[in-house]
Amino acid sequence: MSIKCEIVSQDRKVWEGEADMVVVPGKSGEMGILENHAPLLSTLRPGYIKVVHGKDEEIFTVTGGVVEVLPDKVTILADASERVDEIDIKRAEEARKRAEELLKQTPPSTAEHLAAQAALMRAKLRLEAVQRFRRGKRHPQVQSGTSEESGE
């Protein structure tokens, strides 16, 4: 029993394959999608997509978008999506620092301030994804390196 899954963002196809279950962060809550799900269209909020296939599990970050569910297929139109293994920790960390700087400098509720907030949210999402989900990398070093952010 499996369902086809496709994750695409505007400038690339992020992933495509078979899955037993796809978990997406729907606007009104997490949804686990199995085969023969009723046709559904939902917007997504920032979070993680989990694709389960047998014993394997793939995790992707997503910053928003739309998911289309058909009985045999799940299509995710993501604003931006990255596989956890693809995430560049250093870049995410830099992005977080930059966003935090910007937040301090810009007056609240201006366009720049909101943009910085969104950027900070994305950076944190990626860092947290690495910390929580990256396989075989749960060394104490990584844990301690990113544990400061988990307290937010």
The residue ranges that bind other proteins (CB under 8 A) are 6, 8-13, 26-28, 38-43, 64-66, 68, 75, 77, 79
Residue number with CB closer to other proteins (61 or 131): 61
Phi, psi of 54 (to 5 degrees): 60, -125
From its phi and psi, is residue 2 left (phi > 0), alpha (psi between -120 and 50) or beta?
beta
Total residue length of the chain: 152
Residue number with CB closer to other proteins (11 or 148): 11
Nearest to 3 by CA among 26, 23, 24, 21: 21
Shortest approach of other proteins to residue 105 CB, angstroms?
Answer: 20
Shortest approach of other proteins to residue 12 CB, angstroms?
Answer: 5
Residue number with CB closer to other proteins (39 or 151): 39
Shortest approach of other proteins to residue 84 CB, angstroms?
Answer: 21
Residue number with CB closer to other proteins (63 or 146): 63
Shortest approach of other proteins to residue 136 CB, angstroms?
Answer: 30
Tokens coding 151: 């307290």
Q: How many C-beta neighbours within 10 Å does residue 107 have?
A: 7
